[in-house]
Amino acid sequence: MEKEKRPELVVFGLTLQKIRKNRGYTQDELCLFSNVDRSFISELENGIKAATFPIIVSLTKALNISISDFMKQYEENFSEYIKNHSI
């Protein structure tokens, strides 16, 4: 049986993926621009792993978005996630 994913990780991943795609980047491109391993980016986007602060800094710099704007989008997505899921 698969372990239930933590909502905060799922939403972080969805937020990261949404911003990445809005910027027109593939995971491979984000990997190159952020110096974060592509497989780790995939695990983040799938809600499997948690990002450390240095990783968040690298990703947001590569995506040309401030950490505060990233977190604002995360909060909006989390509120939406809560409405649609029973947690």
Instruction: Tell me the per-residue pLDDT of 51-62, one tens digit each, with 9 for 90 and over.
Output: 999 999 999 999
Residues of the chain with pLDDT under 70: 1-3, 86-87
- Rounded to an integer, what distance in angstroms lies between the CA atom of residue 5 and that of residue 3? 6
List, in order of start, the domains of the chain with CATH numbers. Answer: 7-82 (1.10.260.40)
SS3 73: helix
Q: What pLDDT sits at residue 4? A: 77
- Is the whole-model pTM more than 0.85? yes
Give the pLDDT score at 2.
Answer: 54
